[in-house]
Amino acid sequence: MAQGRISLSGKAGGRYDFISSKEMPAARPSGMTETIVSGLMPELADQWLMESIERRRALIQQVTDLHRNRIARFVDQLFDEESDECDTMVDAMIAECGDPQKVVERLFDPAARVIGDNWCADECDFVKVTIAMSRIQRLFRRLTSEHPPVAAPDMTRCALLTPAPGEQHMFGLCVVEDAFRRSGWEVDCCDCDEAAKMFRLVASNSYRIIGVSVSADRHLPDLVSIVRKLRSKSRNKSVVLMAGGSLVMQNPQGAVNAGFDLLAVDASSAVALAEAVVTSKTIANERLAAE
């Protein structure tokens, strides 16, 4: 889930797919109210989607000149394999905000957008992109190991997070995984090219949520069959499928048409939606028991 909004979209067919800051949909896809939540909470669907998109826009627009300069310097240091300044900048940011997820929002996410814009404009090559994104992932893993989640996992709230078959990167999914763990979820996570493991896990575990990270439209032809197979193989026959990653921002209707129940634009919205699903089902079960 996709990545939690760090993996960006851009060149079709490229190994990395970047979402530039311009690729924000202006309105919800048709039929979204009924489809996005599969009847779980349709009255909230439109409001959630538009608020999530507007929040993403606001985060981009509120960047000050000082912050832009800091992001630009951070990107320069990411590209420089000999420099350790990016580590120093990350340490300063975590000291300022105290939360790895906030570091993603304030530093990693905007830096990835800059890298994506540069890639789309042919201002950096594949090697530089690979180096920069690999360093961001390493920095994030260091932060999460130094600042682990405090909340104990709740075994009744379990999720599987996986890249769609054919995906080539994992950073955004790592961000989403960390966000779920910090909210007390038990999380399993597949790596790239682990489709067999993905289907084996869904068959043997009663996941409440299965989150799939999808980066680009080129994966759409395979998604319908993947979604169908996830549902048929799932031990929990009422499992809720969530799509995240670049595709949700580029083509939410495509994700809906593939059969996903939920669309998450970033890590925080993924957790909020998952919590709403659990809450709504708990209330529904309590009502049935009362009757």
User: Structure tokens of 179?
Assistant: 């966000």
Q: Which fold has domain 32-54+151-290?
A: Rossmann fold (3.40.50)
Asked whether 246 and 264 are in contact (CB, 8 A), the reply is no
Which pLDDT score is estimated for 21? 35
- Helix (H) / strand (E) containing 226: helix 220-233
Number of other residues whose CB lies within 10 A of the CB of residue 99: 15
Which pLDDT score is estimated for 290? 56
Which pLDDT score is estimated for 285? 53
Across the chain, mean pLDDT equals: 79
Q: Identity (one letter) of the amino acid at 84?
A: D
pLDDT digits (tens, 9 = 90+) for 168-203: 778 899 999 999 999 999 999 998 788 899 999 999
Asked whether 260 and 16 are in contact (CB, 8 A), the reply is no
pLDDT digits (tens, 9 = 90+) for 94-130: 999 999 999 999 999 889 888 988 888 888 888 888 8
Which pLDDT score is estimated for 167? 82
pLDDT band at 42 (very low <50, low <70, confident <90, very high): very low
User: Structure tokens of 246?
Assistant: 């670049």
Which pLDDT score is estimated for 179? 96
Instruction: Please state the domain extents for the chain.
Output: 32-54+151-290, 60-146
Place of tokens 């105290």: 98
Instruction: Indicate the SS3 state at residue 126.
Output: helix
Which pLDDT score is estimated for 281? 65
Which pLDDT score is estimated for 41? 45
Which of these CATH numbers, 1.10.10, 3.30.110, 1.10.1240, 1.10.1760, describes 60-146?
1.10.1240
Is it the case that residue 18 has pLDDT exceeding 70? no
Who has greater pLDDT, 55 or 173?
173
Who has greater pLDDT, 151 or 209?
209
Which pLDDT score is estimated for 14? 32
Which pLDDT score is estimated for 101? 95
How far is it, in rounded angstroms, from Cα 202 to Cα 232? Answer: 10
**b/e code 230-240 from CB counts within 10 Å (16+ = b):** bbeebeeeebb
Who has greater pLDDT, 219 or 146?
146
Asked whether 91 and 146 are in contact (CB, 8 A), the reply is no
CA 277 to chain centre: 17
pLDDT digits (tens, 9 = 90+) for 220-243: 888 999 999 999 999 999 999 999
pTM, two decimal places: 0.77
Which pLDDT score is estimated for 20? 33
Which pLDDT score is estimated for 215? 83
Which pLDDT score is estimated for 250? 82
Sheet holding 240-244, edge to edge: 185-189, 154-163, 209-213, 240-244, 262-263
User: Structure tokens of 266?
Assistant: 């970033």
